[in-house]
Amino acid sequence: MQYPQLTQKALGCFENNVPFVLFSIPGSNSITGIFQKDVHTSLPNESLEDSFIFSPFNLQQENYRIPLENSDSYNCMLNLKEEEISPQTITIDETKEDKQAHLTLVNNAIDKIQTGNIQKVVVSRKKEISLQGFQLQKLCDSLFSQNPSAFRYVWYHPKTALWCGATPEVLIKTKDNAFTTMALAGTQKIENTSIIFWGDKEKNEQQWVVDAIVDSLLDKTTALNISKTKSHIAGNLAHLRTDIKGVLNTSRYGLKKVVEALHPTPAVCGTPTKRAQDFIYKNENYDREFYTGFLGISNAEQNSTDLFVNLRCIKIDQNNATLFAGGGITKDSNAEDEWLETHNKMQTMIQVLQPLL
Ligand SMILES: C=C(O[C@H]1C=CC=C(C(=O)O)[C@@H]1O)C(=O)O
C-alpha cells in the first residue's frame, strides 16, 4: 500500500467512527497503519499483549486497545519531504492568566519540595487552540514530514477523540526477553547543537529518573546495563538521556507488570512517585487524560513490544486542538524558566498544526 491509500483508509475509519492508528518508529522511513475491522470489539481481558495500546496517565482511568487479531495492518514507505524544523514560524499566543496560573503551580510545587516531602514533581498545563477546519490528510502530511527522530502517531478511537504526537521518550522496547528503556529529563532550547552545557539542576533531575527506573526493574531483570548520559535532540530542544538495557525475567513477570512498575516514571510524575502523584492530582486543576500516559504496539507473533511515553502530543476534537506540556520541578527550579520551558515544548507541536490554523 502507498501513503495516499493508507491515509485514505484512515479517513474512511475516522468518518465511520472506527478506531485506527498510524505510526512511524523513530528513524524509520516507513509508516504503519492498524485499522480495527469493526467499531464494536470486545476485548477479552486486561492483558496488554497483541494490541496497539493507548493508556492514560492515571491507570485508574480506562485504557484503549486495538487488538491486532481483529484489525488490518499495512506498512508503506514514508517518502514525504522532511521539512525544515527550525526556525519556528508560528508562535503560540499565551495569556496573562495562563502564565499566572502556571507560575503559581510551579511555586506551590517548589514550596512543597522545600518541606522535604518530595524531591521532584512534574507539573504541566494544557492550551486550547481553535482550528480553521480539521483535515486528517493535512495533519498526517504535516506530522509525518517533521521530527523524524521521534515516535510519531495519529490515534483515533470514538471514545478518546483524535490524538497525535511526536514523542522523544521510549517507555520500554522488548524483543523476547531483552529490553531497552530510557531516562529522559532536563530540557533546554538549542540554538547551536554543538555546544550544550547542562547545569546541576538538570543533571540531578535526570539522575533521579535513572535511579527510579533501575530500582523499579531490579527484581524483574537478570541483567542491567546503564549507558553514559548524553544529550538527546528533539526538534528545537535538547534533553539528557541515559539508556538502560537488560534481560527481563519474563517467566515471572508479564508485560503488564513490567509496564506498571515503570509507569509513571519521575520524568512525567516525580519522586517519590506516590507523593508526586498526589500533588499532581490535587494541584494541576485539569485532567491529563492520555498526555504522559503511554502508547505503542505489543506483538505476540514477533514477541516484541515498542511502547512510548505520550509527550509532545495534541488532542483534536472537531475544531478544537489541545496542546499539553510540563516540566520537572526541583528545589532549584525558577518559575519563569519553567513557564518558558512549557511554552517551548508546545512550540514544537504547534508547527504540526500550522496547515490547520
Ligand atoms: C513532561 C514533559 O517532559 C519530560 C520529558 C523530558 C524532559 C522533561 C523536563 O525537562 O522536565 C520532562 O521530564 C513534557 O514534555 O511535557
Please tell me the predicted confidence (pLDDT) of residue 52.
95
Q: Which residues pair with 174 in a beta bridge?
A: 179, 305
Q: Which residue's CA is minimally distant from atom 4 of ligand 1?
A: 267
Atom of ligand 1 minimally distant from the CA of 186: 10
Digit-coded pLDDT (tens) for 80-128:
665 544 445 788 899 999 999 999 999 999 999 999 789 999 999 999 9
Q: How far does residue 35's CA lie from ligand 1's centre (Å)?
A: 31
Residue 341 has pLDDT above 70, yes or no: yes
Please tell me the predicted confidence (pLDDT) of residue 301.
86
- Any alpha helices (H) in the chain, and if so which ranges? 3-15, 96-114, 136-143, 200-217, 255-262, 273-283, 335-353
User: All domains of the chain, ordered by start, with CATH?
Assistant: 3-356 (3.60.120.10)
Atom of ligand 1 minimally distant from the CA of 324: 16
Using CB distances shorter than 6 Å, the residues near ligand 1 are: 122, 124, 169, 184-187, 239, 267-268, 311-312, 325-328, 345
List Cβ neighbours of 306 (8 Å cut-off, separation of 6 or more).
25, 151, 170, 173, 296, 297
Digit-coded pLDDT (tens) for 247-300:
998 765 678 888 989 999 999 999 999 999 999 999 999 999 999 999 999 998
Please tell me the predicted confidence (pLDDT) of residue 89.
75
325-348-328 Cα angle (round to 5): 30
Please tell me the predicted confidence (pLDDT) of residue 82.
58
Digit-coded pLDDT (tens) for 27-51:
888 999 999 997 766 555 566 778 9
The ipTM of this complex is 0.98
List Cβ neighbours of 76 (8 Å cut-off, separation of 6 or more).
1, 2, 3, 5, 6, 30, 31, 33
Radius of gyration for the chain, computed over Cα atoms and rounded to the nearest angstrom: 19
Please tell me the predicted confidence (pLDDT) of residue 43.
59
